[in-house]
Amino acid sequence: MLINIFNLHHHTEFWPDADDFKPERFVHNEKRGLSFMPFGAGERICIGNVFASIEGQLLLTMISQ
Ligand code: HEM
């Protein structure tokens, strides 16, 4: 079974302004359940999950410097 992650991340019930750039929506790390799953979920979740998240923050920091 495939889950359409793009459609999931544009579901208006969870993400009313999905196309707007609003990084602040991630400031409060409230429980999002499976409404946000860029790395998949379950047994086959991306194994680069933590690495990619740290690398992303590092990249943003280096660019802003
Ligand atoms: C922003 C970066 C990344 C995103 C958005 C991403 C996203 C994903 C997604 C959606 C899957 C499929 C999960 C599923 O089938 O349910 C996946 C699988 C996988 N990812 Fe990533 N990934 C990223 C970076 C990485 C990195 C850096 C690595 C390795 C260092 C990696 C290694 C893998 C592997 C090996 C799988 C297959 C896992 C399996 O089937 O058991 N990914 N990734």
- Over residues 17-29, the pLDDT tens digits come to 999 998 888 887 6
In ligand 1, which atom is closest to the CA atom of 41?
A: 16
CB 9 within 8 A of CB 18: yes
Positive or negative: CA dihedral 50, 55, 60, 64? positive
User: In angstroms, rounded to a whole number, what is the distance separating the alpha carbons of residues 26 and 32?
Assistant: 10
Ligand 1 atom 39: the closest Cα is on which residue? 44
5 Rama sector, left if φ>0, alpha if ψ -120 to 50, beta otherwise: alpha
pTM of model > 0.85: yes
Ligand 1 surroundings by CB, under 6 angstroms: 38-41, 44-48, 51-52
- Over residues 2-60, the pLDDT tens digits come to 899 999 999 999 898 999 998 888 887 677 889 999 999 999 999 999 999 999 999 99
